[in-house]
Structure 1
Amino acid sequence: MNSEGDILHHQVDDISDDPSTRTQTENEQFSQARRYAKYYVAQETEYDTIPWDLNPERFETVRDSLAALTVDELDDYFGDLFAQSLSHYADDPDVDTGDIERPYELPAGKIGPEGAVLYEQEIYLDESGDIETVSGVIVEYYVAKGERTTVRHDEAPVPDRDPDARVEISPAPFVDLKPFRDYLVYNLRCQIRDCYVGMGLEPPAAYKVLGPGQYRFTGKYQHFECYPAYFDVDADIPGYSHEFAPELPISDAELGGLVDPGSERSLYRQLKSALFSR
């Protein structure tokens, strides 16, 4: 590096100093190294160098706070997100959407099927590690091939600082707030996996899970040869499994008649119909 902090060349001769001549995998390896460097500095010094959206320890604190919310608190914080997601199934005869109405119309410029949209909500913690407030619903969608845009529905002011985490969900037919909460908690677990994978590290055992985490990493897993398909709940990746096990809005007696302990299918897949029809 020179005195201005610019990289002049790299010690490894078999990787080009010119980013434009590197392979996609080599460029991603450089990105991993940069992410890990920020994480290492934060772990070893007093400097807060980790970007908020790559901070596994903070995400875990948010997970704990989110998992502890009551139904009323869930409705206050995430009721619009829940309704927006469920509204995509209003015409599905197998999903009991009740009297749910869509809080926000889909953007006029969106292309693709109705469900080709990503919903997000940012979470802010207070000094005690409890949820202080959340943003409004954030809508990400494609307006052209390879071109995405974002619409925010912030109806109330949020703190003038970075959020502590952001949950992400594609339209899903959860018809009860408790399993919906459990999905958001699981999404953050997958995001923690993404934080470690994005630094070139194997996640701790608790985060070797399959499923969608951060959408930006899902794109990498789909298109970069250096990554397995961690987003795919059916992926065959040694040491990884799909562990989403939501709290169900059915009785223990009903549950016993629906689950086959000897089945190779996951608990989630065995209970999908009951989960989505209450």
Structure 2
Amino acid sequence: MDASIELDSTEGIAVRTTDNQGIEHRIEMHPNGEIDYHATDGYQSDPSDRTTVENERFTQTRRYTKYHVAQETAHETLPWDLNPDRFETVRQALAALSSEEIEELFGDLLAQSLSHYHDEPNVDIGDISRPHELPADKIGPEDAVLYKQEIYLDETDQIEAVSGVLLTYYVAKGERTTVRHGDAPERDPDACVEVSPAPLVAPEPFRDFLVYNLRCQIRDCYVGMGLEPPEKYKVLGPGQYRFTGKYQHFDCYPKYYNYDADIPGYHHDFVPELPISKSELGGLVDPEHSQSIYSQIKGALFSR
């Protein structure tokens, strides 16, 4: 991807972008990022006449162009949910939270996730109850649900507020809906964590689970712009659900969401803080044991 800004004014921005296939695009947008002109000789003008891959490349070019303008000018042309720099700021603020702050801000999200393991004998959920019942119109298995929580930063880039828990689920094949709980500030969030149910019982590893999700989301931002992510974001695991769907169904993408995917340069790098001391950890791990280290320590993750 490469772009050159040819006009920058308060009325609009004109950009000439060359995509990863070497095709040139002429794109014009408002200072808020709304595109009102996009011309190219390399693709059909009607989206229905393009292949799925061509449509995705077309969309990548638009995302990258907005990103380029945001990087090179003072215009805020990127939507909040595709802004890797802002996501990184949120990720750092989230990683710095104490266990008490995690329980205060994300306690309902943790409880909602853990409630799926009520009947799992190897997961100690304590006296946790489900904060929000699953909607009656939800289809599929009980754990076929995505939980989200929006995060809002203050002027010092610290977490000022969070939304309530959002539940995204299928009501029919190919048809999803989202139910919101609680209140949220009347502005765009700075990021939104997205997690499926996970058997993490303590605040510290759950915090790290959310931090890792944002790291994967940052990867998605770059991939969605047709760019290779910086090295620290070449990680495997679910990020934004909308990109997971693309990775599952579009041949132009590797399966970045899959922890076990064999993608050169990418690896699974989720290393949660354990709610036990290093000396206790040493007593749990036997390097000569036939079980993996994860299998040996998972009791510390799933128990109180």
Task: Pick the TM interval, shorter chain.
Answer: over 0.9
Q: Which residue of 2 aligns with 1:83?
A: 111
Q: Which residue of 2 aligns with 1:241?
A: 267
Structure 1 residues 264, 5: closer, same or farther in 2, change over 3 A? farther
- Do residues 61 (structure 1) and 93 (structure 2) align? no
Q: Which residue of 2 aligns with 1:11?
A: 41
Q: Is the 8 A contact 2:91 2:211 kept in 1?
A: yes
CA distance in 1, matches of 2:290, 2:226: 32
Q: What is the CA distance between 1:160 and its match in structure 2?
A: 1.7
CA distance in 2, matches of 1:166, 1:261: 38
- Do residues 95 (structure 1) and 129 (structure 2) align? no
Q: Which residue of 2 aligns with 1:22?
A: 50
Q: What is the CA distance between 1:56 and its match in structure 2?
A: 0.6
User: Which among 31, 48, 65 is matched to residue 59 of structure 2?
Assistant: 31
AA in 2 matched with 1:185 = V
CA distance in 2, matches of 1:191, 1:267: 27
Counterparts of 1:1-278 in structure 2, within 5 Å, are: 5-7=36-38, 9-12=39-42, 15-154=43-182, 156=183, 158-259=184-285, 268=294, 271-278=297-304
Gaps of 5+ in 2: 1-25, 29-34
Q: Is the 8 A contact 1:118 1:170 kept in 2?
A: yes
Shifted more, 121-130 versus 71-80: the winner is 71-80
CA distance in 2, matches of 1:165, 1:26: 29
Q: Which runs of 4+ in 1 moved over 4 A?
A: 1-5, 260-270
Q: Is the 8 A contact 2:163 2:185 kept in 1?
A: no
In the alignment of these two chains, the number of paired residues is: 273
CA distance in 2, matches of 1:113, 1:230: 24
CA distance in 1, matches of 2:67, 2:213: 21
CA distance in 2, matches of 1:268, 1:102: 27
SS in 2 for 1:149: strand
CA shift digits 1:250-278 (9 cap, x unpaired): 23233224445589998556533331123
Gaps of 5+ in 1: none
CA shift digits 1:76-127 (9 cap, x unpaired): 1100000000011011111001011111111011001110100000000000
AA in 1 matched with 2:169 = Y
Structure 1 residues 262, 122: closer, same or farther in 2, change over 3 A? farther
AA in 2 matched with 1:11 = D
Structure 1 residues 59, 134: closer, same or farther in 2, change over 3 A? same
AA in 2 matched with 1:218 = T
AA in 1 matched with 2:241 = Y
CA shift digits 1:189-247 (9 cap, x unpaired): 00000000000000000000000100000000000000000000000000000000000
AA in 2 matched with 1:138 = L
CA distance in 1, matches of 2:252, 2:295: 29
| Superposition CA RMSD, Å | 2.1
Q: Which has the higher strand share?
A: 2
SS in 2 for 1:168: strand
Shifted more, 164-173 versus 64-73: the winner is 64-73
CA distance in 1, matches of 2:37, 2:83: 26
Q: Which residue of 1 aligns with 2:22?
A: none
Q: Is the 8 A contact 1:52 1:164 kept in 2?
A: yes
CA distance in 1, matches of 2:294, 2:157: 30
Q: Is the 8 A contact 2:236 2:269 kept in 1?
A: yes
Structure 1 residues 47, 151: closer, same or farther in 2, change over 3 A? same
AA in 2 matched with 1:83 = A
CA distance in 1, matches of 2:234, 2:284: 27
Percent of residue pairs bearing the same amino acid type: 69
SS in 1 for 2:40: coil
